[in-house]
Structure 1
Amino acid sequence: MSKLSGKIAVITGGNSGIGLATAKLFAKEGATVVITGRRLAEINTAVAEIGGNAIGIQGDVSNMADLDKLYAEVKAKFGHIDIVFANAGIAEPSPIEAVTEEHFDKTFGINVKGLLFTVQKALPLLVDGGSVILNSSVVNTVGFEGFGVYAASKAAVRSFARTWTAELKARKIRVNVVSPGPIETPIFDKMGLSVEQIEAFGENISTQVPLGRFGRPDEIAQAVLFLASSDSSYVAGIDLYVDGGMVSV
């Protein structure tokens, strides 16, 4: 039997990278998947790749009106939600000397504010016993030069999981975190780095991973599936590192 048969799952940032890989896996496991993203063309392409068990809704998680529209459509179509994967996020490096208010507000607006209200606004539709998975990063533990604001935003995500696990215990809603290490996703193309800088960054990071390579989006998706399904029925409040041993070794 499929692990998510009959489940309704919402995945923010589901049009590429980890979000898209997870949406494909969820659909394969029997879920109906609702994905969001800021770019309509990419959403439509992703929905076609996922197949018949997916719908796409354009929206920016840092925009409250877009989140309200998302959940209004989900309520009208399905009436409830079983799984939320709050995945949408950005990573734009900046050393402390160059951090601007705009950079800070943009990063925290999407990675922290957007994630918080993604979950809060889902709660009226989320079934008791449902699963919430938050996408953080190994940078919530490990320091990388130039990623201070991004790391702080991901540390906030980890903190949310602890608090929300306590706050939602009466509803038996499990809140967990997945923290990827370096993963081959389009996010590196959006950091504002040159091709040479990206290659040098990748080579440097790979040397810090005991398994000696970047991970794949589908490897993160498998971890998210575990946290979303009944396989993890006694797992709550954890931070699951999927990082090739980067943090632990």
Structure 2
Amino acid sequence: MSNLQGKVAVITGGTSGMGLATAKRFVKEGAFVFIMGRRQAELDAAVKAIGSNVIGVQGDIANLADLDRLYASVKAHKGHLDIVFANAGLGEFAPIGAITEEHFDKTFNANVRGTVFTVQKALPLLKDGGSVILTGSIASVKGIPSFGVYSATKAALRSFARTWTNDLKDRRIRTNVISPGTIDTPILDPLPKEAIAGILSGVPMARMGTSDEIANSAVFLASDDSSFISGIELFVDGGAAQV
């Protein structure tokens, strides 16, 4: 039997990269997925690529009204949730001394505020025994130059996973974090080859990860295979943050 047979999942940031790969894998494992993305054209393309057992809802997780529309769709079509993969986020470089109010607010609104309310607004629909998965990053523990604001947002999510593990224990809802390393997604396309080589020099496995490898980890944390796992940070990074 498939690991997620009959489950209902929400995936934010589900139109490309890790989110899209996870949505495809969830459906393959038997789940019905609701994906959320900001751009309608990309959302339509993602729904088409997933093919079945999927509904796309256009919206921005930093906009609480958009989240309300997302969960209204879940309630109307399925009536409940089993899995929340709070994956949407953004990151831009700015060293200390050049951080603007706009940069700070944009990053925290998307990565922290948006994630908090993605999870909180899901709770009335989320079944007892459900799974919450947050997308973190090795940046939260690596001190990457000029990436301080982004890194701080991901450290905040790690903290929330610990708190929510206790907050939701009476409902047996598990909260865990997947922290990717360098993953081969379109976001890296603008980087020169020298920059990619520099990144890979710090990865013991000497390669980038794939979106499918993140999806594999998400399936594990969403399924009953991880039934006694809560509050962890699962690094999917080829060893980059470990040695």
**Contact 1:140 / 1:155 at 8 angstroms: preserved in 2?**
yes
- 5+ residue gaps, structure 1, are 190-194
Residue of structure 2 equivalent to 1:184: 184
Matched, 1:173 2:173: yes
* CA distance in 2 between partners of 1:174 and 1:110 (Å): 23
SS at match of 1:96: coil
Residue of structure 2 equivalent to 1:192: none
For 1:1-249, list aligned pairs within 5 A.
1-189=1-189, 195=190, 197-249=191-243
Normalised to the residue count of structure 2, the TM-score between the two structures is 0.98
Residue 199 of structure 1 aligns with an amino acid whose one-letter code is K
* CA distance in 2 between partners of 1:238 and 1:205 (Å): 25
* CA distance in 1 between partners of 2:219 and 2:228 (Å): 14
* CA distance in 1 between partners of 2:29 and 2:206 (Å): 30
- 5+ residue gaps, structure 2, are none
CA offsets 1:16-69 (integer angstroms, 9 cap, x no match): 000000000000000001000000110110011111111100000000100011
**Contact 1:130 / 1:174 at 8 angstroms: preserved in 2?**
yes
The alignment covers a number of residue pairs equal to 243
SS at match of 1:36: strand
User: Cα offset for 1:71?
Assistant: 0.4
Normalised to the residue count of structure 1, the TM-score between the two structures is 0.96
Kindly tell me: are residues 52 and 151 of structure 1, through their superposed partners in 2, closer, same or farther at Cα, counting changes over 3 Å?
Answer: same
**CA RMSD, aligned part only?**
0.9
**Contact 1:90 / 1:187 at 8 angstroms: preserved in 2?**
no
User: Cα offset for 1:4?
Assistant: 0.4
Identity over the aligned pairs, expressed in percent?
Answer: 63
Residue 225 of structure 1 aligns with an amino acid whose one-letter code is V
